[in-house]
Amino acid sequence: MSEAAVAGPPQASDQYVQSLARGLAVIRAFDAQNPVMTLTEVAARTGLTRATARRFLHTLVELGYVRTDGKTFALTAMVLQLGYAYLSGLSLPQLAQPHLEELSLKLGQSTSAAVLDGTDIVYVARVTTRRIMNVGITVGTRFPAYATSMGRILLAGLPQDKLDEYLAKAEIRKITPRTVSSAEELLAILDQVREQGWCLLDQELELGLMSVAAPLRNNVGKIVAAVNVSLQAQHVASQADPKAYLDSVRKEIIATAEAISADISAKR
């Protein structure tokens, strides 16, 4: 759901390598909604000419990162190596996973952890009980931060200058009829999230999907990631007291977030 169009760097320097940026843009053009594309589609999503896109695609094919049947292109498993070094050096997934597994078992729901990357959140840990979204979620999946519970936790934790940078870059639009559609609307929600310390998202990313998120903090109290529980709106509505059920989920995710935050602080 993230845009892969090529955009120039905020302030290109003489150290900036445009060809590398374009090659990475071609890789990022592939996502859950566009796993297989034609040359024309890749060119359109990256903003490159067909000739330029063709050169990058065939270079990636020769390097083993992309495969082709002569008409369409798709990423290969080799691209996982690009993110492995980052994940292997990140202690957060290892610290969060056992807590997420325990919470998932207790609630019978899927749980996740994510960090902020540009205008998106990126999943770094995930425990799945069932697929409740049309788009499958795995480690590495990206979603627009403004339309997710974990994203709103992370945005609420940003200093004002960084939040201003985010708002200048993000395309805030309706994904479902319930999604916020303006910066003013989002800022009001972030104020509430910041004040209460948790976030409930009600079918703004996908109809039928709800989630409750809480922040993960380091030893100085800075929000470094977020965790959430995914819920089916129908399941919530079927409870004898939906409000009380959501309150119990909120308490559980907050307790889990505090436990993981304690582990993060202890490791530093």
Are 75 and 184 in a shared domain? no
Beta strands in 197-252 (DSSP E): 199-202, 209-217, 223-232
Q: How far is CA 44 from CA 26, 30, 47, 159, in A?
A: 10, 12, 5, 35
Domain-terminating residue out of 61, 79, 97: 79
88 compared with 83, residue with greater pLDDT: 83
Residue ranges making up the domain that contains 139: 89-267
Q: Whole-prediction pTM value?
A: 0.69
Residue 8 forms part of a structural domain = no
Residue 6, in any domain of the structure: no
What is 26-66 written as a DSSP string? HHHH--SS-SEEEHHHHHHHHT--HHHHHHHHHHHHHHTSE
> What are the tokens at 13?
């320097």
Per-residue pLDDT tens for 188-210? 999 999 999 999 999 999 999 99
Asked whether residue 113 falls in the same domain as residue 208, the answer is: yes
**Whether 144 and 57 share a structural domain:** no
Residue 141, number of CB atoms within 10 A of its CB? 21
Instruction: Specify the DSSP element, H or E, that contains 125.
Output: strand 120-127
Residue 189 counted as domain residue:
yes
Report how far residue 22's alpha carbon sits from residue 28's, in angstroms, rounded to the nearest whole number: 10
Shared domain for 98 and 75, answered yes or no, is no
The answer to whether residues 121 and 217 belong to one domain is yes
**Average pLDDT score over the chain:** 88
Number of structural domains (the chain) is: 2
